[in-house]
Amino acid sequence: MQLTAPKFDEAEIEMLRTCLSSGWVTQGPMSQKFEQLIAERHGVKHALVTTSCTAALHLATMALDLKAGDEVVVPAFTWITSAHCAEYVGARAVFADIDLATYNLDPAAFETAITPRTRAVVAVHLFGLAAPLDDIRAIASRRGIAIIEDAACAIGTTYDGKPVGGLGDIGCFSFHPRKIVTTGEGGAVTTNDDTIAKAVGSLRNHGASAAHVPDDEAVGPWTMSAYNQIGYNLRLSDIQAAVGVAQMSKLDGLLAERRWVADGYRERLSDRNDIVLPAVDPGHSYQSFVIRIAEGGRQRRNALMVSLAKRSIQTRPGTHAVPALGYYRTKYGLCPQHFPNAMIAEDTSITLPIFPGMTASDLDLVAETLDRALAAT
């Protein structure tokens, strides 16, 4: 059983056919439609699609004009690009520990990590559960710290009934195949700030801005853009956006299927006191269903994953304790034990299969295999 799988049907094929028939396969109507659908769903003024969430995070740090000497607070348990986006622009990623109950940033640890050089915080909505944005905003706003929502896992996620992605200064989404909505590879930046949106729109398109027209030259279809800053080619193609448009039409159904799977796991595993299930929250989109082993540490966790693999059930650890990774540990002389919750999460978490089309029999197989493996270790 695979860990995850996208759900495609004739809707994606038809959108691709429409796109290819139009002859407009990049920076065209499909990209605009996809952006409109994302903006409407997440209640923001602007959505700008990109090649990946990594690109979106990079664009976010550039749009905020972060640079050498600046610091960005990042949860110590997350995917690596939550931290890399600071390093890309010469700033420093400063880690703060997580709340083990949610795997998200601990507001108290965030506040402790702040220095006079802190310019931004990356609030990761890990595995589809919103970070504690009220507490994060209260801390950040007092100090003029920008909030980047890393919503890579969080299309369709809500916080207190409000969609994520427009609750900070900038939101960054992923459409990787493991995400709920996928375009193969792809991402998006969301914001309610016109200045940020303008900067992202330019930076993703080589640094292009308003048309450059000399005083003695007429404006026409030959008119070229001005390039007053360095930029990048981080645009999503219309071919990929066409898949995204079809996927967005299914979002509510995709979310419902994932929540059904999550409820099924809870029903089958809730009587076990040796595992910790994901936090219950009505806004959780369950991009991943991550459990934690209560006792036994990394060795026992790995043994359980081996037992599941023997039944052809794919699993993964939740994600990384980033301060323990070579680049950050070496560059900043970090001691991973200074982030105890992140280390516990890395050593004891297991991502169970979750994808559209899973059946009750699939859930039975995973739960029964896990039960037997727990009893045997």
> Which residues in 125-186 belong to E strands, given as ranges?
146-151, 158-159, 162-163, 170-174
Q: What are phi and psi of 276, to 5 degrees?
A: -115, 120
Is 305 contained in some domain?
yes
User: Are 331 and 229 part of one and the same domain?
Assistant: no
Tell me: pLDDT of 73 over 70.
Answer: yes
- 148's enclosing H/E stretch is strand 146-151
Can you give the pLDDT at residue 219?
65
- Cβ atoms of 197 and 46 within 8 Å: the answer is yes
Instruction: Tell the residue number behind the tokens 């890393």, with chain if given.
Output: 150
Nearest by Cα to 163 from 196, 188, 199 = 188
CATH code of the domain in which 126 resides = 3.40.640.10
pLDDT at position 211: 57
Q: How many domains are there within the chain?
A: 2
* Residues 270 and 154 occupy one common structural domain: no
For residue 7, which amino acid is it? K
Pair 97, 196 in one domain: yes
- 260 in the same domain as 238: no
User: Which ranges constitute the DSSP H helices of 206-284?
Assistant: 238-248, 251-269
Domain of residue 315, CATH code: 3.90.1150.10
DSSP state letter for 160? T
Residues 67 and 179 in one domain: yes
Residue 224 has pLDDT above 80, yes or no: no
| Residue 1 within a domain | no
- Domain-terminating residue out of 248, 280, 298: 248
In a domain, 5, yes or no: no
Give the chain's mean pLDDT: 96
Residue 322 has pLDDT above 80, yes or no: yes
**Based on the domain organization, do 219 and 260 belong to the same domain?**
no
Active site residues: 179
Question: What's the CA gap between 171 and 235, in Å, rounded?
Answer: 17
The pLDDT of residue 225: 81
pLDDT tens, 339-348? 999 999 999 9
Residue 218 predicted with pLDDT over 90: no
Q: Are residues 87 and 33 in the same domain?
A: yes
Could you tell me if residue 2 is inside a domain? Answer: no
Mean pLDDT of the 203-209 span = 94
Could you read off the pLDDT of 351-369 as tens digits, one per residue? 999 999 999 999 999 999 9
Residues 284 and 303 in one domain: yes
Same domain, 244 and 255: no
Task: Inform me whether the pLDDT recorded for 27 exceeds 90.
Answer: no
What was the pLDDT predicted at 190? Answer: 98
Same-domain pairing of 158 and 302: no
**% pLDDT > 90, the chain:** 94
> 162 and 41, same structural domain?
yes
- Give the residue from 196, 217, 248 where a domain finishes: 248
Rg over alpha carbons for the chain, rounded to the nearest Å, is 22
Question: What is the domain extent for residue 266?
Answer: 251-376
Domain for residue 355, yes or no? Answer: yes
For residue 28, pLDDT over 80 is answered with: yes
Q: Where are the extended beta strands (E) located within 51-117? A: 71-75, 77-78, 92-96
pLDDT for 226: 85
Percent of the chain with pLDDT over 70: 96
Is residue 3 in a domain?
Answer: no
Pairing of strands 77-78, 224-227: unpaired
Within a domain: residue 277?
yes
Q: In which element (H, E) is residue 329 found?
A: helix 326-332
pLDDT digits (tens, 9 = 90+) for 106-135: 999 999 999 999 999 999 999 999 999 999
Cα 341 from Cα 106, distance rounded (Å) = 10
Domain end marker among 223, 248, 273: 248
Q: Specify whether 243 is located in the same domain as 257.
A: no
Does this model's pTM top 0.85?
yes
Residue 197 lies in a domain: yes
Distance of alpha carbon 334 from alpha carbon 4, whole angstroms: 33
Q: Does the structure show a pLDDT above 90 at 212?
A: no
Mean pLDDT for the stretch of residues 146-175? 98
What's the pLDDT at 138?
Answer: 98
